[in-house]
């Protein structure tokens, strides 16, 4: 009888110890992305988005060091391809993304080309991007082959753009 009481007390003690142990808590993922992006035009509405700052097109000629990247939205593509901005894209040392551009990055870099005159890329794209730094030129196309991306595809493309921005910081 005494042995049974001791065993019962030990079992209860063990059970209480296990129950009192702190359970790990799951931390929810952040609903924002740790990037600051200047946007010329209307910023996209996303469930998870970086810190978007609305700027005028003229402002890209100024100091952009506080931004991780610049996104130029469709309504400003024609103006952004103007000869006044070609040197800005080459000297800024941050990535530029041209949302809705079917023209790659050529009309933005070649001051002799207008947006209308430049050749469209063979496959439809959702966005074109570029980064110039001291040693190299990097260009990207996003959403290749998707004629009209639906909302889900657009969200994936924006995620890909944000990952590209983050990776461009790791390379520097």
Tokens of 90: 């080459």
Once rounded to an integer, what is the mean pLDDT over residues 52-73?
Answer: 96
- Confidence (pLDDT) at 21: 54
- Confidence (pLDDT) at 24: 41
Distance CA 14, CA 172 (A): 55
| pLDDT tens column, 115-158 | 888 888 788 899 999 999 878 899 999 999 888 899 999 999 99
Residue 38 pLDDT exceeds 60:
yes
**Best CA proximity match to 31, nearest among 17, 5, 51, 61:** 51
Residue 172 pLDDT exceeds 70:
no
- What count of residues does the chain have? 172
- Confidence (pLDDT) at 152: 93
Tokens of 149: 């991306």
Q: Which residues contact 98 (CB under 8 A, 6 or more apart)?
A: 72, 77, 80, 105, 108, 127, 128, 129
| pLDDT tens column, 13-37 | 555 554 555 444 433 344 557 999 9
Asked whether 154 and 126 are in contact (CB, 8 A), the reply is yes
- Confidence (pLDDT) at 26: 36
Tokens of 17: 């110890």
The pTM for the full model equals 0.78
**Cα-based distances in Å from 5 to 2, 10, 15, 44, 127:** 5, 9, 15, 69, 74
CA 90 to chain centre: 20
- Confidence (pLDDT) at 123: 82
Percent pLDDT > 90 in the chain is 52
Once rounded to an integer, what is the mean pLDDT over residues 59-81?
Answer: 96
């Amino acid at each position: 009888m005494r042995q049974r009481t001791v065993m019962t007390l030990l079992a209860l003690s063990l059970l209480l110890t296990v129950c009192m142990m702190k359970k790990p808590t799951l931390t929810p993922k952040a609903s924002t992305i740790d990037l600051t992006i200047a946007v010329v035009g209307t910023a996209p509405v996303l469930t998870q988005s970086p810190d978007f700052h609305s700027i005028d097109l003229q402002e890209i000629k100024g100091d952009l060091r506080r931004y991780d990247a610049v996104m130029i939205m469709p309504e400003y593509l024609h103006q952004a391809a103007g000869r006044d901005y070609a040197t800005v894209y080459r000297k800024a040392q941050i990535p530029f993304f041209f949302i809705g551009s079917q023209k790659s990055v050529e009309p933005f870099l070649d001051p002799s080309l207008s947006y209308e005159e430049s050749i469209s890329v063979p496959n439809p794209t959702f966005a074109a991007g570029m980064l110039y730094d001291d040693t190299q030129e990097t260009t990207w196309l996003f959403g290749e082959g998707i004629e009209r991306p639906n909302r889900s595809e657009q969200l994936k493309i924006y995620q890909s753009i944000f990952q590209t921005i983050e990776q461009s910081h790791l390379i520097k």
